[in-house]
């Protein structure tokens, strides 16, 4: 396996609070890795540093041996890192199709015109939203806005996709579809870092998990082993899970 993403000693301090404290792990190409931990343990802050939204206080992020730390979010996106947000970010007054076309125009492939339109439709098809292509984005349900945000992220043809609780709030049928979708991305060689509290999804999707607590990594290993780890159960999953 080839190491694609390497996170070393990643640290973020907000004033006196060390939100992320020396986090180190790497991901191979095509791996789907769960990043777990209780609320406030620092997971989103890790994603924010990997995607360049926040500069780390210390530590580095490398993609394919190239340092991302210090680059702007836009540059990092152009290098192949895409993400979704816990609270979806869309262009509300544009159509669903235009939202994805915009991601293509400003993404690393810089596609325009009918090529962009065809590609956008293919991405919407992939996330099950092709029939809503002409709808104004703000009229979509929250779940469909999440789907559209994923289509925008996929339009960037990412090497690494950071999903921040993308499966949260889905009903059981939608969850099944969402899990299959994320699994298909891994199978296509997209490396996925999944911040998620939905344990059925984590078990179904992640061969490996990294668990954080109070900014630190407390476990990193095969999902079954990590979820049975006494410290992970104590800090995150709770006794009823064990």
As a whole number of angstroms, the distance between CA 167 and CA 178 comes to 7
DSSP sequence for 156-211: T--SEEEEESTTTT--HHHHHHHHHHHHHHHHTT-EEEEE---HHHHHHH-SEEEE
Binding to ligand ATP by CB under 6 A, coded x per residue (else -) over 7-26, reads: -------x--x-x-------
The residue from 5, 21, 45, 52 that contacts ligand ATP (CB under 6 A) is: 45
> Cβ of residue 237: shortest distance to ligand ATP, in angstroms?
14
The least distance separating ligand ATP from the CB of residue 164, rounded to whole angstroms, comes to 8
43 makes contact with ligand ATP (CB under 6 A): yes
Q: Is 42 in the site for ligand ATP (CB under 6 A)?
A: yes
Q: Which of 44, 99, 191, 217 binds ligand ATP (CB under 6 A)?
A: 44
The nearest distance, CB 43 to ligand ATP, in angstroms, is 4
Q: Whose Cβ is closer to ligand ATP: residue 86's or residue 126's? A: 86
The residue (of 43 and 132) whose beta carbon lies closer to ligand ATP is: 43
Q: Report the C-alpha gap between 189 and 195 in whole angstroms.
A: 19
Distance CA 92, CA 112 (A): 21
- Dist. CA 167–CA 241, nearest whole Å: 20
Strand pairing class (32-36; 160-164): unpaired
Shortest Cβ 69–ligand ATP spacing (Å) = 18
Quote the distance between the C-alpha of residue 107 and its chain's center: 17
Return the range that interacts with ligand ATP (CB under 6 A); candidates 41-49, 66-74, 129-137, 199-207.
41-49
* Using rule CB under 6 A, residue 37 touches ligand ATP: yes
Q: How far is the CB of 233 from ligand ATP (least distance, A)?
A: 17
> Which of helix, strand or coil describes residue 37?
coil
Residue 91's nearest CA partner among 103, 78, 81 is 103
Is 213 a binding residue for ligand ATP by CB under 6 A? The answer is no
Give the distance, in angstroms, between the CA of residue 202 and the centroid of all CA atoms in the same chain: 13
Number of residues that bind ligand ATP (CB under 6 A): 11
Residues 76-95 that bind ligand ATP (CB under 6 A): none
User: Any bridge partners for residue 18, and if so which?
Assistant: 13
Q: Catalog residues that contact ligand ATP under the rule CB under 6 A.
A: 14, 17, 19, 37, 39-45
């Amino acid at each position: 396996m080839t190491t694609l993403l390497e996170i070393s000693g990643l640290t973020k301090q907000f004033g006196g609070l060390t939100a992320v404290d020396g986090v180190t792990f790497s991901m191979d190409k095509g791996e789907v890795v769960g990043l777990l931990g209780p609320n406030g343990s620092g997971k989103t802050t890790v994603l924010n540093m990997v995607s360049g939204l926040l500069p780390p206080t210390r530590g580095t992020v490398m993609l394919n041996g190239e340092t991302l730390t210090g680059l702007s979010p836009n540059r990092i996106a152009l290098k192949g890192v895409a993400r979704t947000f816990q609270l979806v970010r869309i262009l509300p007054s544009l159509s669903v199709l235009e939202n994805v076309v915009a991601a293509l125009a400003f993404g690393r492939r810089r596609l325009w015109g009918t090529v962009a339109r065809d590609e956008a439709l293919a991405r919407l098809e992939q996330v099950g939203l092709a029939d809503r292509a002409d709808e104004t984005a703000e009229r979509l349900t929250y779940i469909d806005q999440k789907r559209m945000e994923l289509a925008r992220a996929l339009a960037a043809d990412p090497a690494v996709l950071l999903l921040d609780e993308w499966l949260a709030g889905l009903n059981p049928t939608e969850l099944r579809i969402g899990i299959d979708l994320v699994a298909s991305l891994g199978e296509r060689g997209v490396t996925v870092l999944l911040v998620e509290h939905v344990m059925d999804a984590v078990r179904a999707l992640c061969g490996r998990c990294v668990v954080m607590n109070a900014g630190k990594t407390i476990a990193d290993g095969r999902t079954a082993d990590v979820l049975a780890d006494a410290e992970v159960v104590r800090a995150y999953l709770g006794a009823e899970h064990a």
